[in-house]
Amino acid sequence: MSELTEERFSEKTDAEEAPPAPGERAIAVQPGRFHAAGDISSLEKVFELEDISVSYGDAPAVKDVTLDIYKQEVTALIGPSGCGKSTLIRCLNRMNDLVPTAKVTGRLLYHGEDLYGPKVDPVQVRKLIGMVFQKPNPFPKSIYDNIAFGPRILGMKGDMDEIVEKALRGAALWDEVKDRLDSNAFGLSGGQQQRLCIARCIAVEPDVILMDEPCSALDPISTGKIEDLMMELKREFSIVIVTHNMQQAARVSDRTAFLMVELDSTEQNRWGRIVEYDATEKIFTNPSDPRTEDYVSGKVG
Amino acid sequence: MQASDIAASGPAALTKPRLEAASPRYGEKLVIGLLAASAAISVITTTAIVVSLLVPSVEFFGDVPIKDFLFGTDWGPTFTPPTFGVLPIVVGTLSITFWSLLFAVPIGIASALYLSEYASPRSRRFFKPILEVLAGVPTVAFGFFALVFITPQLQKIWPGFLGDGPGIFSALAGGLAIGLLIVPIIATVSEDAMSAVPNGLREGAYALGATKSKVASRVVLPAALSGVVASIVLASSRAIGETMVVLLAAGNTPNLTLNPVEPIQAMTAFIATTATGDIATGTITYKTVFAVALLLFLMTLLMNVLSIRLVRRFREVYE
Amino acid sequence: MSDEFNPRTARAEIAIAGARGATAGILSDQPRRDVIRNSVFASLLFLAITIALVGLALLIGDNLIKGWPRLNMDLLTNGTSSLPDNAGLHSAIIGTLWIMAFVILFIIPIGVGTAIFLEEYTSKQSRWARAVEVNIQNLAAVPSIIYGLLGLAFVARGPLSLGFTVITASITLTLLVLPIVILVAREAIRSVPPSIKEGSMALGATRLQTTRKQVLPAAIPGIATGVILAISRAIGETAPLIPLGAATFVTYDPSGPASGFTALPLVIFNWVKQPQAEFQVLAAAGIIVLLAVLIAMNSFAIWLRNRYEQRW
C-alpha cells in the first residue's frame, strides 16, 4: 500500500509544476491526482474500435464508436445511465453474443485481429479478455473451487494450490481467506466477494480485464480497496472500466471516454455516442467539448 | 497460448493472439445433439399416440359408418351381431363426470377461497398437505373405497322417496369417488388464481367497508374467474379420463341413462375391459377399442386446449 | 370511447365492480346482519375443506380398519396365490421394483436432457421450443389408459415388439410421467440465476461446461425431487398397465427386463375383483402398504428439497 501512495505523491508533484490552464473551472476532483497517460505514438493498441454500433433488435443502444484502447492502461467509460457503456464494454469480450437479439456492426480489432471474424471462437476470446460484473457473482462453491474453476476448465498446467494462492494474492484477498479456502464463497462480505471475482478472473491469466461498474454495489471502504487493486493490476493487465462515478474515473483511469445519450425525433429510441475520448487529466480539467465539461462539473447527468 | 505471452513480448513484437477454437469440440456437439433428441422424444410420443389411435380407427370407420358410431344408442361391439352406437358409453362418461363435478366444484372452490382468504398460516400448513396427499392417492384406492364404503353408505342413507337406492354399481358412487379425487385439482389451481389477484383490489373494497365475505365473493372470485374455470375444465378432463374408479364402482353395463343409481359403462371402462392384452391386432374388437380411445383422446385434448387458453387469459390480465 | 384513450383496463373493471358490490352491500345491510353473514360464509368455506379432509380420513381409515387383520409381514413375503390365506404382495413388490428401476433409468436422461435443451439451448421465440412445449403440455393431459394402448400398439407389438415384459411396462410408464420430470427439472434449472452462468461463460467456459459444472450441480436437489414425484406417480398407476397383458400378469417373481411382469396396483386390483370376502381384506391391506410407500416417498422428496435446496 505504501508503494502506491509514493507513486501518487510523485505524480502530484509533477502536476503542480504545470501551469494552470486559463479560466480553469472548478472540478470536484482533487487536482494533481491524475495518472500520466503515455504518449500515444509509442503505445501498443489492445483494442481498435471503428464505427462500432450495437442494437438490440430494432432498438439502437450505442452508435458509431471509434476509439483505441491501449495496453496496460486503465481506460474508463463514463456517462449518464442509458448511454450504452455496458453494452459497449460487453462487445469487447463478445458477451453480447449471449443476447439473441443483439447485433454488432463495425470493426473491432484485438491486437490487430478482427474480434468478430468468421473463424473466431467467442470462448477463446473470453479466455483472453476477462470480466468482472457489477454485482459480485461468486459460484455457490468453496473459495478454492471458485478460483480453480477457470484453470480447471481451461486445462491449465501447474499446481492448483499455487495458482489459487497467486490469484488470491493478486486480488489482495489471500491474507483474509487463506485459512478458510474450503468455506463457501457466499459467506464473504460484498467487497470480499468482488475481490474473489477479480481473483477468479485473473486466475486464468487473461490479457485484458473488463470491469462493468465493479464497485457500484459496494461500500466506500471496499470501493477504495478495489481501486487500489486496480493500480496494481494494471501492471500486468489492460483494464477497461465502466463507471457512473466520475470521481472514481478520475482517480483510477489513464484515459477516459465520455458517452452521452441521444434521442431520436419521436423520443422513443435512445442510444449512446462517444462525445470525447482523451487522457483523463484533460477530460477532467480541460475538456474540449462543452457537453463533457457540463457532465464532469456536475451540471448535468 | 497464454496471455502472458502477449504481455511479455512488448510493443516491438506483436504476436497475433489465437482466436480460433482450440479444438473442434465434437464431444460437445454430440451431447447437444443428444439433448435435442431427448426433447424430440415428447414430439415423437405425441405423434405415436396419434398414429396408434388413428390407424385402427380409420380402418374401423371403413367398416362402421361414423353416423352409426356417434349417434347410435346400442353399444354391443363384442356381441353377435355387434352393434356400434357409442352414445351409451359417452353418456356414461358424461354422467359420472357430471356427478363428480357436482361434488367437487363447490367443495374445491370453497376450499380455495378458504385457503386464499381466510386461512391462518398454521391452517394453511395443515390443509395444503392434506390436499397434496389426496392428490397422490392411487386411483385403485379410490375405486375400492367407492365399492366398499361409498356404495354401502349410499344404500344405507338413501331416502325412500327417491325410489330404489344404488346397487353394487352405480354412476353416483363412481361420481362421488372421482369427485373426491379431483377436489385437489380445482382447489390448487383456483387458489393459484386467487393468490394472483392483486391485493390492491381487496384493499380497495375493504376501505369502502366491505366485509371479508363480500370481498371474497364479489371481488376475489370474479377476479380469479378464468383461473377457476380453467381448474374446472382441467378437473373435467381428468374425470373423463379416469379408468380404475369407474371400472370398480360404476359397473360395466352400457346403459343410456342419466339416472345416477343405475350402473353404467364409461368409455375408459370399456377400453380397460376389452383391451386386456390378448386381443388380436386387426380384429374388429381391436379397432373398436381404438376408435373409442380416439374419441376419448379428442375430448380430453379439446378440454386441455381450452384450459390452457383460460390460464393464459387470467395471467395476461394481471401481468 | 376512442381507441386512444381507454382507461378501463381489466383491473379497473374488476375494481369498479367490486367497489360497486361492496358499496351496495354496505348501503343495504345493517352491520349485525353483516357479521352473521360473514360468519356463516366463513363456516361454509371451512366446512368445505373439512369435507375434503374427512373424505381422505375415511378413505385411509376404512382401509386401515378393513385391512388390519392382514397387515403383517406375511403380506409382504407371500407370493401370489388363489387361496387368500397364502396370498401376499411379494411378487408385486419385486415387479414394481424392477419396473421402477428402468423408469428411473429412462426418465433421468430424457427428462433432464429435454429440460436442459429447452432452457439453455433454445430461445423463447424459437418454433422448435414452442412445439416441444405444447407437446409436453398436451401429453400431461392424456388419459393414462391411452398410454397403455400406445404401449400395446407400439412397444409390446408394432415396431418395438418387446412383448408383455417388464421393459414394456417401464417404457410405457416413462412416457406417462415424463412431463412431470421435465416440468420440475425446468423449474430447477431456471432457478439458477443468470449471473452465475454469465460469470462462468465470461471465464471462457462453453455453454455445455457451464451447464455441467454450474447449473446442474445447483439444480440437482430440485431435479431429484421431481424424479421422486414422478416415480411415486408411476408406482400408483394401474390403468396404463392393463392393456399390456392383463391376462398374462405373472404369479412368480419377475426376474429381469425381459420377464413377464406384475405390479403392486395390479395385484391389488385383482384382489378387489375377487368375490371372496377375504380378498377384500387383502386388498385393503395392500392399499395401506401402497399408501405408506407413497407417503414415505413424498415426505422424503420434500425433506430432500428443504435440506439441499440452493438458496441464492
User: What would the pLDDT profile of B63-89 be if each residue is shown by its tens digit?
Assistant: 888 888 888 888 888 888 888 888 999
State the nearest Cα–Cα gap between B73 and chain C, in angstroms.
24
* CB C192, CB C198: distance < 8 Å: no
Q: Does B159 touch chain A (CB under 8 A)?
A: no
Over residues B251-255, the mean pLDDT reads: 88
Cβ contact A111–B16 (<8 Å):
yes
The listed range with the strongest mean pLDDT (A11-20, B163-172, C25-34) is B163-172
pLDDT of A29 above 60: no
ipTM, 2 dp: 0.88
User: Which pLDDT score is estimated for B296?
Assistant: 95
User: Which pLDDT score is estimated for B316?
Assistant: 64
Assign residue A183 a region (left: φ > 0; alpha: ψ between -120 and 50; beta: otherwise): beta
Binned at pLDDT 50, 70 and 90, residue C76 comes out as: confident
Mean predicted lDDT score pLDDT of chain C: 87
Per the model's pLDDT, the better-predicted residue between A270 and B48 turns out to be: B48
User: Which pLDDT score is estimated for A37?
Assistant: 56
Per the model's pLDDT, the better-predicted residue between B149 and A14 turns out to be: B149
Nearest CB to C18 within list B113, B209, B218: B218
User: Which pLDDT score is estimated for C35?
Assistant: 78
Q: Which of A168-182, A261-275, C179-193 has the lowest mean pLDDT?
A: A261-275
Q: Does B277 touch chain A (CB under 8 A)?
A: no
pLDDT of C240 above 90: yes
User: Which pLDDT score is estimated for B218?
Assistant: 84
User: Which pLDDT score is estimated for B14?
Assistant: 46
Compute the radius of gyration of chain A from its Cα atoms. 20
pLDDT of A135 above 80: yes
Secondary structure of residue A103 in the 3-state scheme: strand
Percent of chain C with pLDDT strictly greater than 90: 50
Q: Which of B208-217, C17-26, C73-82 has the lowest mean pLDDT?
A: C17-26
What pLDDT, in 10s, does the model give residues C272-288?
A: 988 888 889 999 999 99
Q: Is the peptide bond before A287 cis (omega within 30 degrees of 0)?
A: no
Which chain B residue has its CA at the smallest distance from A235's CA? Answer: B7
Per the model's pLDDT, the better-predicted residue between C241 and C17 turns out to be: C241
pTM of the model: 0.84
Interface test mutation site (partner B, options A42, A70, A116, A121, max chain B beta carbons within 10 A)? A121
Cβ contact B35–C117 (<8 Å):
yes
Q: Does B4 touch chain A (CB under 8 A)?
A: yes
User: Which pLDDT score is estimated for C307?
Assistant: 86
What pLDDT, in 10s, does the model give residues A207-243?
A: 999 999 999 989 999 899 999 999 999 899 999 999 9
pLDDT of B114 above 80: yes
Q: Does B38 touch chain C (CB under 8 A)?
A: yes
What pLDDT, in 10s, does the model give residues A149-199?
A: 999 998 888 899 999 999 999 998 999 998 999 999 999 999 999 999 999
- Chains touching chain A at 3 or more Cβ pairs under 8 angstroms? B, C
User: Which pLDDT score is estimated for A168?
Assistant: 93
> How far is Cα of residue C136 from the mean position of the Cα atoms in its chain?
14
pLDDT of B319 above 80: no
State the nearest Cα–Cα gap between C114 and chain B, in angstroms.
4
Cβ contact A126–C203 (<8 Å):
yes
State the nearest Cα–Cα gap between B21 and chain A, in angstroms.
5
d(CA B77, CA B231): 35
State the nearest Cα–Cα gap between C160 and chain B, in angstroms.
12
Binned at pLDDT 50, 70 and 90, residue C85 comes out as: confident
Cβ contact C38–B213 (<8 Å):
yes
Binned at pLDDT 50, 70 and 90, residue B12 comes out as: very low
User: Which pLDDT score is estimated for B317?
Assistant: 63
Name the CA dihedral angle for C45, C48, C49, C52, rounded to a multiple of 10 degrees.
-170
DSSP state of C107: H
Which chain C residue has its CA at the smallest distance from A132's CA? Answer: C199
Percent of chain C with pLDDT strictly greater than 70: 92
* CB C294, CB C116: distance < 8 Å: no
Q: Which residues of C touch A124 (CB under 8 A)?
A: 204
- Sign, CA torsion C92/C97/C100/C106: negative
Q: Which residues of B touch C298 (CB under 8 A)?
A: 132-133, 136
Percent of chain B with pLDDT strictly greater than 90: 46
Cβ contact C203–A135 (<8 Å):
no
Cβ contact B19–A120 (<8 Å):
yes
pLDDT of C77 above 90: no
Q: Which residues of A touch C204 (CB under 8 A)?
A: 123-124, 126-127, 150, 153-154, 204
pLDDT of B244 above 70: yes
Q: Does B158 touch chain C (CB under 8 A)?
A: no
Interface test mutation site (partner C, options B2, B18, B103, B214, max chain C beta carbons within 10 A)? B214
State the nearest Cα–Cα gap between B195 and chain C, in angstroms.
15
Percent of chain A with pLDDT strictly greater than 90: 51
Cβ contact B20–A121 (<8 Å):
yes
Nearest CB to B110 within list C48, C158, C291: C48
**Own/partner long-range contacts of B274-280 (Cβ < 8 Å, ≥24 apart):** B274/B77, B274/B78, B275/C148, B275/C149, B275/C152, B275/C242, B275/C243, B276/C242, B276/C243, B276/C246, B276/C247, B277/C152, B277/C156, B277/C164, B277/C242, B277/C243, B277/C244, B277/C245, B277/C246, B277/C247, B277/C248, B278/C245, B278/C247, B278/C248
pLDDT of A40 above 70: no
Q: Does B27 touch chain A (CB under 8 A)?
A: no
User: Which pLDDT score is estimated for C223?
Assistant: 92
pLDDT of B16 above 60: yes
Name the CA dihedral angle for B13, B14, B20, B21, rounded to a multiple of 10 degrees.
60
Integer angstrom CA distances of residue A14 from A1, A9, A32, C310: 21, 9, 8, 54
Which chain C residue has its CA at the smallest distance from B177's CA? Answer: C55
Cβ contact A197–C198 (<8 Å):
no
Over residues A262-268, the mean pLDDT reads: 80
- Chains touching chain C at 3 or more Cβ pairs under 8 angstroms? A, B
Nearest CB to C204 within list A126, A140, A197: A126
User: Which pLDDT score is estimated for B26?
Assistant: 85
Over residues C168-197, the mean pLDDT reads: 93
Q: Which residues of A touch C216 (CB under 8 A)?
A: none
pLDDT of B240 above 90: yes
User: Which pLDDT score is estimated for C196?
Assistant: 94
Q: Which residues of B touch C42 (CB under 8 A)?
A: 114, 118, 212-213
Percent of chain A with pLDDT strictly greater than 70: 86
The listed range with the strongest mean pLDDT (A20-24, B159-163, C63-67) is C63-67
* CB C205, CB A123: distance < 8 Å: yes
d(CA A59, CA C311): 35
Cβ contact A131–C206 (<8 Å):
no
d(CA A28, CA A293): 12
User: Which pLDDT score is estimated for A49?
Assistant: 92
Nearest CB to C214 within list A127, A135, A139: A139
Buried-exposed string A107-138: b where 16+ CB fall within 10 A, e elsewhere: ebbbbeeebbeeebbbbbbbbbbbbbbbbbbb
Cβ contact A126–C125 (<8 Å):
no
User: Which pLDDT score is estimated for A150?
Assistant: 93
pLDDT of A108 above 50: yes
